[in-house]
Amino acid sequence: MSDSAASTFDEFYRGTSRRLVRYAFGLTGDLREAQDLAQEAYIRGWQRWSKLATYGNGEAWLRLVVTRLATDRRRAKAFRVRRAAALTVEAGKDADDAAVLDVVVLVGAMRKLPVDQRRALAMHYLLDMPIGDIAAETGVAVGTVKSWLSRGRTALAEALSGEPTTAGGRDV
């Protein structure tokens, strides 16, 4: 492809990569996997760049790719084993850092949620996306996103406090 295509792709990459890694991390709970998935999404993005560049929201396309790759990879035993090993290392090496502990706790709780709730939480809390935008991107009603967020928050609250929570979480 042309130099100009490379230039616009590089700009797109630099403008979106941080948010994409955040999203991938929220979805998978694994920094290494988030790194892998984000880079893979950009590789595929470059292969289709002539079309992707014309989309109104290329970042949403990247998130779709990451979501599908994450779902697909989760089924591969080898990847699961590697991820488990990576998590062990990560949790152990910085265990004295309170912020890291927060992340480890959050990751453990997030991993127990269904993928739809994880997606919604990651978009809302890690990317600051409004509920209407999440609904549009995931193709569901606003009420469904609210329900995912509410249930996700309730489950996270239970996991993080170690006690069952009766309330459904605050309304969004």
Partner 1 sequence: MSDQLAQFFAAAAERADAVPLAGPAAARRTGTRRRRARIATLAVVCALVVAAIPVGVHQLTTQRGFVPVPLVPSPSAPTTAPPSPAPSASASASLDPCSVQPAQCYPPVRPWHEERLPAPCTQPSHPSDALIAQRRSESRSSYYDLAGQGTTMYAVTLTRYRSGGAAKYLAEVRTELARCRTVARTSDFGNATVTLTYRRVGTGLGGDESLLASRSYREVSEAQPGSSNPTYPIAMVRIGDVVAVVYDYGWEGSPSLPSRFDQFVADAVADLRAGKP
Residues comprising the chain, all counted? 172
φ, ψ for residue 167, nearest 5 deg: -70, 155
Q: According to CB under 8 A, which one of 107, 120, 129, 135 is a site residue for partner 1?
A: 107
The site that binds partner 1 (CB under 8 A) totals a number of residues, namely: 69
Q: How far is the CB of 65 from partner 1 (least distance, A)?
A: 8
Neighbours of 31 (CB within 10 A): 16
Q: According to CB under 8 A, which one of 82, 86, 91, 103 is a site residue for partner 1?
A: 103
Nearest to residue 71, comparing CAs of 22, 122, 116? 116
Nearest to residue 17, comparing CAs of 39, 33, 43, 50? 39
93 binds partner 1 (CB under 8 A): no
Query: Looking only at residues 28 through 87 of this chain, which bind partner 1 when binding is defined by CB under 8 A?
Result: 31, 34-35, 38-39, 42-48, 51-52, 55, 60-61, 64-65, 67-72, 74-77, 80, 84
Q: How far is the CB of 132 from partner 1 (least distance, A)?
A: 18
- Contact predicate 172/95, CB 8 Å: no
Amino acid, single-letter form, for residue 48? R
Q: For tokens 């706790």, what's the residue?
A: 105
Nearest to residue 24, comparing CAs of 54, 56, 66, 52? 66
The Cα 37–Cα 66 span in angstroms is: 6
89 binds partner 1 (CB under 8 A): no
114 binds partner 1 (CB under 8 A): yes
Binding region for partner 1 (CB under 8 A)? 1, 6, 9-10, 13-14, 17-18, 21-22, 24-26, 31, 34-35, 38-39, 42-48, 51-52, 55, 60-61, 64-65, 67-72, 74-77, 80, 84, 99-100, 102-103, 105-107, 111-118, 121, 125-126, 153, 156-157, 160-161, 165, 170
